[in-house]
Amino acid sequence: MNIKTITCHEVYNHGATLQEYALLKYLEDKGHTAEAIHYKPPYLSNHFNLWSVSNPFFKKNIL
């Protein structure tokens, strides 16, 4: 069976990434074909960008 999950793993902790990996591994071990669809909400679009400053405190004091 083909199974696709929608995940949002670009969040403030690494638990979402680990949960996604564990779920996909579990489904594959059970004989299914699993695939993750990575959802990236607009409010997190530049959160992990090296060149972006998402905290207004730092933006004010750095720039």
Alpha carbon distance 18, 9 (integer Å): 9
Per-residue confidence (pLDDT) for residue 26, from 0 to 100:
96
**pLDDT above 90 for 55:** no
pLDDT band with cut points at 50, 70 and 90 for residue 43: low
Structural domain tally of the chain?
1
**pLDDT above 80 for 54:** no
The three-class DSSP label of residue 54 is coil
- Which residues constitute the domain of residue 27? 2-62
Q: Which residues pair with 5 in a beta bridge?
A: 36
10 within 8 A of 43, measured Cβ to Cβ: no
Q: Is residue 14 exposed (0-12), middle (13-18) or buried (19+ Cβ within 10 Å)?
A: exposed
Alpha carbon distance 6, 63 (integer Å): 37
